[in-house]
């Protein structure tokens, strides 16, 4: 794996961690929900309500699914930014906008099309989730993509054989 893709992968792991820690802390404080239940809720996108009674097996499915989604978010930003330089040249505004776009896609496309059922409409959850997507998801995706692209630009060109 190249240094570029290690940076993109790291970005995905960072945003996945920020997001899942936020969800676990929010729901633990608000309603006493355990992290296992949060991860089972993620797995419910695949399995529906039965995921909530699947123990650590469905929590593990939720964990893996969550990080696959987060890594794909980081990789998508990187791939698009390679073709649209403004995305890596101005990572703060575009990263925040990307986070807002991701919030919309996840909550108005992905979750409704999954087996998860309706997501929470709690105003505090929604407001904080929008902010978290902008600052802790979109922005790190943009910053890691920027770093990866700068590594690409500094790399020597391949020699012709």
Tokens 């990789």 -> residue = 75
- Comparing 69-78, 120-129, 152-161, the range with the smallest average pLDDT is 152-161
15 and 155 Cβ atoms separated by less than 8 Å: no
pLDDT of 23 > 90? The answer is yes
Token pair for 16: 């996945």
Residue 155, pLDDT score: 72
| Range 3-29 burial, b when 16+ CB lie within 10 A, else e | ebeebbbbbbebbbebbbebbbebbee
63 and 37 Cβ atoms separated by less than 8 Å: no
Per-position DSSP letters for 17-86, written without gaps between them:
HHHHHHHHHHHHHHH---HHHHHHHHHHHHH-GGGGGSHHHHHHHHHHHHHHHHHHHHHHHHHHHHH-TH
Confidence of residue 131 (pLDDT cuts 50, 70, 90): very high
| Each residue's pLDDT tens digit, 80-120 | 999 999 999 999 999 999 999 999 999 999 999 999 988 88
pTM over 0.85: yes
The whole-angstrom separation of Cα 161 and Cα 2 is 21
**Mean residue pLDDT across the chain:** 94
The whole-angstrom separation of Cα 145 and Cα 161 is 30
Q: For residue 1, what is the DSSP state? A: -
The whole-angstrom separation of Cα 53 and Cα 47 is 11
Confidence of residue 161 (pLDDT cuts 50, 70, 90): low
Residue 16, pLDDT score: 98
Residue 154, pLDDT score: 85
Confidence of residue 158 (pLDDT cuts 50, 70, 90): low
């Amino acid at each position: 794996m190249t240094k570029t893709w290690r940076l993109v992968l790291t970005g995905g792991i960072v945003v996945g961690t920020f997001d899942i820690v936020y969800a676990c802390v929010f729901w633990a404080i608000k309603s006493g929900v355990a992290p296992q239940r949060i991860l089972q809720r993620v797995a419910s996108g695949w399995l529906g309500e039965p995921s909530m009674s699947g123990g650590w097996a469905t929590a593990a499915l939720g964990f893996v699914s969550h990080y696959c989604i987060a890594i794909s978010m980081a990789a998508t930003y990187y791939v698009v930014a390679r073709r649209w330089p403004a995305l890596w040249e101005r990572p703060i505004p575009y990263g925040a906008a990307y986070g807002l776009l991701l919030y919309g896609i996840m909550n108005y496309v992905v979750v409704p099309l999954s087996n998860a059922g309706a997501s929470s409409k709690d105003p505090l959850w929604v407001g904080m989730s929008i902010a978290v997507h902008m600052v802790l998801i979109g922005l790190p995706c943009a910053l890691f993509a920027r770093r990866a692209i700068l590594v690409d630009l500094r790399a020597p060109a391949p020699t012709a054989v």
